[in-house]
Amino acid sequence: MRRLRPIISIGLPLLLWEFTSRMGWINNFLFPPPLAIAQAIWLQVGPYGNPPYAVLFHVLRSMVRILAGIGLALAIGCIVGLLIGLTRWGNAIFKPVISIIVPVPTLAWTPVLLLIFGIDDRTTITVVFIAASLTIIYNVVAGAEMLSARVFWVVRSMGASPWQIFYKLIIPGIFPYLITGLKLGVGFAWRALIAAEMLAASSYGLGFMIFDATQYLSMDIILGGMLLIALMGYLLEHVILGRVEARTTGRWGVQVER
């Protein structure tokens, strides 16, 4: 019974929707039946879509953008975060700047970026970068500040070179916080990406797909696209990064304050 419960509590409303929509009791233009939605999306996935393989291209484009943005954010975020957390000059210079940028909603930067880059992949990737890097920096700083000085003194007194200290003390020390920051950052970055794709009106991308569909009032594409967006967000944040988190911090038993 317990395994059936999620199936029933999700399936029953869907069934109701399908039934009432096909009977015409609810406006079936605004709420097309779920099977019709699935059909429309499936059509767009294959070679008979408009353009061919449309949905695949949209999903791929979004994935490329978010991976590029997150990769950049990881690299730069780690460096800046370590500088802020461990050095006095890094803290003095970077922390005020970051603290001023953080309260700005990420998407407010989109029009400025549109002016600088135009309607280009770089706009969306930069938005993803801003969203993810701020989160990663915040968490890496928290991790770096938590490093124990006593262990550092011990290791140094045993004659460790700076390189060894970096590899064996600092990196493992901040790793749990980095993973948490990465997970949160991916979540924020996905949300920012979808909205940025709607605004930056480029040619492919999940956000663009559902926003473009409003021009043609194709509710089935919109609803199907929303499901895809939710699915991809869940995959990215919980499945992929959840597994990484479970295998690393979960296994090592380090609890991280969120």
Partner 1 sequence: MPNAAELRKKPAPKLGHPSRRFRKAAGVVQFLAPVLGMLVFWEFLVRGGMLNGEIISAPSLIAARALVLISGAQDYILFQHIWRSLYRALGAFVLAVALAVPLGFWLGLSQKAYDWLSPPLSLLLPLPAVAWTPIFLVILGHGDITIVLVCFLGAVFPVLYSTIQGVQAIPRHSIWVLRSMGANPREVFFKVLVPASLPALLTGFKLGLAHSWRTLVAAEMLAALSRGLGFMIFAARQYLDVHTMLMGIVILAALGFMFEHLLLGVVEQVTVRRWYGSSRERA
Spatial contact of 66 and 246, defined as CB atoms under 8 Å apart: no
Distance CA 166, CA 175 (A): 12
CB closer to partner 1, 174 vs 179: 174
Task: Find out whether 171 and 144 touch, Cβ atoms under 8 Å.
Answer: no
- Show the site string, 50-79: x = touches partner 1 by CB under 8 A, - = not: ------------------------------
Size of the site for partner 1 (CB under 8 A): 66
Distance CA 51, CA 246 (A): 40
User: For partner 1, which is the closer residue by CB, 136 or 199?
Assistant: 199
Query: Which CB atom, from 53 or from 152, has the smaller least distance to partner 1?
Result: 152
Own/partner long-range contacts of 44-52 (Cβ < 8 Å, ≥24 apart): 44/221
Q: Does 43 bind partner 1 (CB under 8 A)?
A: no
Q: Is 207 in the site for partner 1 (CB under 8 A)?
A: yes
- 163: buried, middle or exposed (CB in 10 Å: 19+, 13-18, 0-12)? exposed
Measured at the CA of 165, the angle between CA 161 and CA 170, to 5 degrees, comes to 165
Closest approach, Cβ 47 to partner 1, in A, equals 26
Binding site for partner 1 (CB under 8 A): 2, 5-6, 9-10, 13, 30, 85-88, 91-97, 100-101, 103-112, 114-116, 144-150, 152, 187, 190-191, 194-195, 198-199, 207, 210-211, 213-214, 217, 219, 222-223, 225-226, 229-231, 233-234, 237-238
